[in-house]
Chain A
Amino acid sequence: MIRIFLLLLSLSNLTYPAIASNKLNTDIKTWHTKNNVPVFYLHAAEIPMLDIAVVFNAGSARDGSKFGLAQLTNSMMDEGTKQWSVDEIAERFESVGANFSADTDRDMASLHLRSLSTPSKLQPALATFADMISHPTFPSRALKRLQDNTLRMIEFGQQSSRSVANDIIYQLIYDNQPYAHPVIGQKQTVVGIKQQDVKDFYNRYYVANNALIAIVGDVKQQQATAIANQLTQHLASGQAAAPLPPTLHRSDQASSKQLHFPGTQTAIRLGTLGIKRSDNDYFPLVVGNHVLGGLPLLSRLFTEVREKRGLTYGAYSYFSPQLVAGPFIITMETRNAQVKTATDVSKQVLTTFVDNGPSAKELALAKKNIIGGFPLKLDSNSALLANMINIGFYRLPLNYLASYRDNINQVSRAEVKAAFAKHINSKKMATVTVGNTDANQ
């Protein structure tokens, strides 16, 4: 593993100072457990705590037609094991001060344990965590309750114009492809999910060959090795999830949808297919998007829509690179009477940017901001864990963090312009408005 301070010596055109960057904790170690689960580990001994994530390639892209199945399965992992009830699991964790959470997105199902590193606290938490990962029982009573909770979450989404707009833009970009539907599913699909569906999903995807572990905190490598083995030893070997089919542009990709929704403000979303995480244009697009709509207060979108015109509280653009092409989305909310102006201005900003790329000054600002802000991406165990999951899951090189600033620094204006021209057709953006656009006219 190359440490940052060694890397610094090898770079000529430094735009970041040679501050005490050897203190950045990027010395990620990796190995495999006895049953072949990749482990990513960072030692951080300053605080007597430990973060562990067990991640499966089992996000909502694996739902098939049972939208919401991945999320339901993951949220049921702490609902009971052969050994312990849901109440016992909660008490076992919390009586030693441990926090457990389960998160699901379109690609990943993650189980996260945060514990004190004191052995008397850590050992019971690990035993509970290991049992939950390998021996969940998915009680049918719990399934009914979590279906009810999910229905309520869906309803909460339906009373928010922003949430409705987010769902529709994904629908317009992806049609019936695996990223199209919301992670929590839809009412009619969620109620149809059976206990056997959950068990089947778990048996298929929660297996050693479809998992990774990330560990950061106050344990030595030898102990981390033992922990990773303990957590995975009872997982079935199984098969890695099949590659997702490549995403395709819809034939009518410039489609638009206006939905009537009560209230004084309209949610606006423009979107199209972006890139997969492994795309070679990742760094030019990151830098370019910073100029276009990524950097708060200073990006072109923020300046034109908010600072110059007072049309919105926030105006942003983002890529969400995933296993296969994630979306590129522009997002803002404005008072109902200004929807047309805000939309037109945003489209103009996007078109101008895609046609001409950033100015030299803008590019310099974006690069300085990203490079100078790099230490902030690594300043806590939480941040380090997120980086390790990202590296492990998307199979980024192990020196990803060490080489990150160099990669940003090398991006040129021509590369940004070419990357946007290749990936973003500003004339074919899907458009969504959700709001009471009749109200003020």
Chain B
Amino acid sequence: MLKLLRLFILLLSCTPQLSVALDATNTTHEYTLNNGLRLFVKEDHRAPVVVSQVWYRVGSSYEANGLTGISHALEHMMFKGTHKYPADRFSRIIGENGGRLNASTGRDYTFYYEELASDKLPLAFALEADRMHNLELKQQDFAKEIEVVKEERRLRTDNNPLGKTYERYSAAAHISSPYHHPVIGWMSDLNEMTVQELKQWYSQWYAPNNAIVVVAGDVKASAVLTLAKKYFDLIPANKLPPAKQFTEQEPLGLRTLSVHIPAQVPWLIMGYQVPSVTTSAVAWEPYALTLLASILDLGASARLSKHLIRGKHIATNASANYEPFVRLNTLFEFSATPAPGKSIEQVKLAILSEIDQLKTTLVSKQELERARTQLTADKVYSQDSITTQAELIGYAESIGTSWRAYDNFLQMIQSITPEQIQAVAKKYLITDRLTLAVLEPETLKLQEQQS
């Protein structure tokens, strides 16, 4: 019940020639209830199904040291019952009605979803509205569930060499930013967490004026609004804590770290501090960074695959990733695994050489056009899933921008020039902004000593 890295950039953008098929404004409806709850409805009548998502604007980036992981722990406890629907009644009712349900916590959001036959939407609303303000949070449930959360942490991070390395890298790359700490929380904080703290977190953040309801599927928007009023209208609004502004510290130079753990494969992860769509002082820069990432790593014809994996055969995988739709400053990331017989140092130099190339030589028209075409096509393909359609609205709204940013995104992508791509490479992909981490497997060291 936790999602971390998302290849968000693959799902945005579009070109004019397909704009009729892609025009989301025809079917996305937006409403605000009296208590501040915001509702978005995306009609899609291909199949008699619906997805209902309730997003809360709270996640690990809202947490302070000592309380890390509390948003995610609360997400687990949301399945433990209310007075009206105690214990597993919620899951049982959705299950009996053929639904799927789950939840996801990220840095900027916590969201809950049900996927159902479209005539079952009232059930999802009744249950979600109830647990928006009536959660019981019993000590005996918490005592067991926090152990489940720790097992989840062991599974995803502690016993996963890449997960462990990424956690350390991310903590080094983000200095004062709350992106510093892991979504699932440090184990020491999980060990100290109390149900009283969860109650406080719940009453502080779970309120209609901090919630976004997104519905996509075979429904009528006006009918969904009526339903939403019926179930959510009476929940009182909360006084939310004032939003704090975070300004990340200036990076002041290269940061490197090594992670020594039992593993088989060495791994390189590098990140340059960059703005997001919400923090960028220059509006076009995140879009130029998005195209930069696409030219490097969108598909088998992109530069990292063509040059590093195939051409030089120096890496068995190599990727570039930039996610513009986040709340705070973020990282433009590279990660790679050296091919057998190649070193981390060789891979690092090859990536740096690709970056230099971007700074000194303009990207070709064909490359830029291909990247735009792929982003356009991926936007078309994203319509195949109602869940994806709903999530795109939820991500954008939960970070404080609008789902309409996708339309803007499209226009911006079309307007970006090779010169602008070169400009962001020169401005941001510089050593002073870089954090570089290497997973150095302990077992591999032994092999190296033998050879």
Chain A contact-residue range equals 35 or more
- A313 with B148: CB separation less than 8 A: yes
Quick check: is B53 within 8 A (CB to CB) of the other chain? no
Binds A, one of B224-232, B258-266, B283-291: B258-266
Q: Is A235 close to B, CB under 8 A?
A: no
Q: Which residues of the other chain, B, contact A297 by a CB distance below 8 angstroms?
A: 79, 88, 91, 95
User: Interface with A: B61-69, B305-313, B324-332, which one?
Assistant: B305-313
Per-residue CB contact flags for chain A residues 418-434 toward chain B (1 = under 8 Å, else 0) read 00000000000000000
Contacts of A238 in B (CB 8 A): none
Q: Total contacts A to B, CB within 8 angstroms?
A: 215
- Count contacts on B: residues with CB < 8 A to the other chain: 74
Verify if B445 is at the interface (C-beta below 8 Å from A): no
A134 at the interface (CB under 8 A from B): no
Minimum CB distance partner of A160 in chain B? B160
A192: CB under 8 A from chain B? no
B148 & A312 in contact (Cβ 8 Å cutoff): yes
Residue B99, interface by CB 8 Å: yes
Docked-complex contact A376 and B115, CB < 8 angstroms = yes
Interface 9-residue window, one of B42-50, B397-405, B425-433: B42-50
Q: Does A259 contact B (CB under 8 A)?
A: no
Among A16-24, A55-63, A173-181, A317-325, the one that faces the other chain is: A16-24
A90 at the interface (CB under 8 A from B): yes
Q: Is B280 an interface residue (CB 8 A)?
A: no
Q: Are B21 and A48 in contact (CB under 8 A)?
A: yes
Question: Are A17 and B119 neighbours in the complex by a CB distance under 8 Å?
Answer: yes
- What's the Cα separation between A368 and B123 when bound, in Å? 15
Nearest Cβ distance between residue B28 and chain A, in whole angstroms? 16
Check B148–A99 contact: CB distance below 8 A: no
Interface string of B135-164 (1 = CB under 8 A from A): 000000001111110111011001111000
Is A44's CB within 8 Å of the partner chain B? yes
Contact (Cβ within 8 A) A24 B47: yes
- The reply to whether the CB of B204 lies closer than 8 angstroms to some CB of chain A is no
Does A334 lie at the interface of the complex (its beta carbon under 8 Å from any beta carbon of B)?
yes
Known A-B contacts A44-B46, A369-B98; A263 and B377 likewise in contact (beta carbons under 8 Å): no
Instruction: Give Cα A46–Cα B380 distance, bound, in whole angstroms.
Output: 11
Cβ 8 A contact of A382, one of B298, B299, B340, B384: B384
List, in ascending order, chain A residues with CB within 8 A of B148's CB: 306, 310, 312-313
A264 within 8 A of B: yes
Contact A158 B159 (CB under 8 A): no
The answer on a CB contact under 8 Å between B47 and A373 is no
A156 to B385, CA, bound (A): 30
8 nearest CB pairs, A to B: A372-B98, A97-B377, A310-B147, A310-B144, A373-B98, A90-B301, A90-B300, A155-B264
A-B contact pairs, 12 of them (CB 8 A): A16-B98, A46-B46, A94-B373, A151-B340, A160-B159, A298-B95, A307-B88, A307-B144, A365-B95, A365-B96, A375-B98, A379-B46
